Amino acid sequence: MVAGKDIEGAIQRLAQMARAAGIHLIMATQRPSVDVITGTIKANFPTRISFQVTSKIDSRTILGEMGAEQLLGQGDMLFMAGGGRTTRVHGPFCSDSEVESVVAHLKRQGRPSYLDAVTTDDSPEEPAKEGKSGRGAKAEKVERSEDSDEEAPVFDIGAFAAATGGESDDLYKQAIEVVLRDQKASTSYIQRRLQIGYNRAASIMERMEIEGIVGPANHAGKRDILVAGAPHASSGMYDDE
């Protein structure tokens, strides 16, 4: 939460109704300043928790007293009950490696189903930055497809494409051409270039990884392109955005 006074009226009404109805309401912010955690909001949330903060001022803003700046992190926190008494407790802490392990396990149990409306990248296409739109953008796409013989990757796509047939197989071949020609292997890049949804782009990247065209994403989200692309392009690491 960073809105502060813009939402304090709504927060106040919700907290009052939640208290009467027995609803547990949790509010969190990463910016403990007085313009965010206003007096009205603090008055309606008598029970508070503070993890490690950087300064005494931040601790006073959250709890009304110092101490949170001396916490050790990784679950170490101060708990203030409704009566105002502060207790030092240790909450559960999940490291990044544990989170990644759980996510990997869940992905193995079933194929993820993403909401395209949430995951679609709204950033403008590259031609739009140059002031091209509509027919101009389509014309450029046609011109690039006509010149594709010059940029064709040194790679036998048919040897890797699975026998799925139809439109999906053609789309997969186009994705391989884009990756090897542009030397950029990421889900969002495939999504933008082929103008497809995130789910389909993610499936294409997973298939490329299975078939040995790109490597798995490392801890920094980067992938290796494992096959030779166009003669003028060199293989390298790229962010999996």
pLDDT in tens, 177-225: 998 998 888 888 888 888 888 888 888 988 998 999 998 876 655 678 8
Q: Is residue 163 in some structural domain?
A: yes
Residue 157 binned pLDDT confidence (cut-offs 50, 70, 90): very low
Same domain, 8 and 86: yes
Would you state the pLDDT for residue 150?
43
Name the least confident of 93-102, 130-139, 147-156.
147-156
Q: Is residue 194 in some structural domain?
A: yes
Would you state the pLDDT for residue 78?
92
Residue 162 belongs to domain with CATH number: 1.10.10.10
Name the least confident of 3-7, 159-163, 225-229.
159-163
Q: Is residue 108 in some structural domain?
A: no
Would you state the pLDDT for residue 165?
44
Would you state the pLDDT for residue 153?
41
Q: Is residue 134 in some structural domain?
A: no
Q: Is residue 139 in some structural domain?
A: no
Would you state the pLDDT for residue 122?
56
What is the total count of domains within the chain? 2
Would you state the pLDDT for residue 2?
58
Domain that holds residue 165: 117-123+154-239
pLDDT over 70 percentage in the chain: 69
Q: Where is pLDDT greater, at 80 or 24?
A: 80
Extract the runs of DSSP E, i.e. beta strands, from the chain. Answer: 48-50, 76-80, 86-90, 222-224, 237-239
pTM higher than the cut 0.75: no
- Give buried/exposed letters for 172-184 (b at 16+ CB in 10 A, else e): bebbbbbbbbbbb
In this structure, the number of other CB atoms found within 10 A of the CB of residue 75 comes to 14
Q: Where is pLDDT greater, at 13 or 219?
A: 13
Residue 202 contacts residue 187 (beta carbons within 8 Å): yes
Q: Is residue 182 in some structural domain?
A: yes
Q: Is residue 101 in some structural domain?
A: no
Would you state the pLDDT for residue 197?
86
Would you state the pLDDT for residue 120?
64
Residue 160 has pLDDT above 70, yes or no: no
Residue 174 has pLDDT above 80, yes or no: yes
Mean pLDDT of the 60-81 span:
88
Would you state the pLDDT for residue 28?
83
Computed from CA positions of residues 79, 81, 87, 91, in that sequence, does the dihedral angle turn out positive or negative? negative
Would you state the pLDDT for residue 237?
41
pLDDT in tens, 103-148: 888 888 877 777 777 666 655 555 444 444 444 544 444 444 444 4
Mean pLDDT of the 81-105 span:
86
Q: Is residue 217 in some structural domain?
A: yes
In this structure, the number of other CB atoms found within 10 A of the CB of residue 239 comes to 14
What residue type is 25 in one-letter code?
L
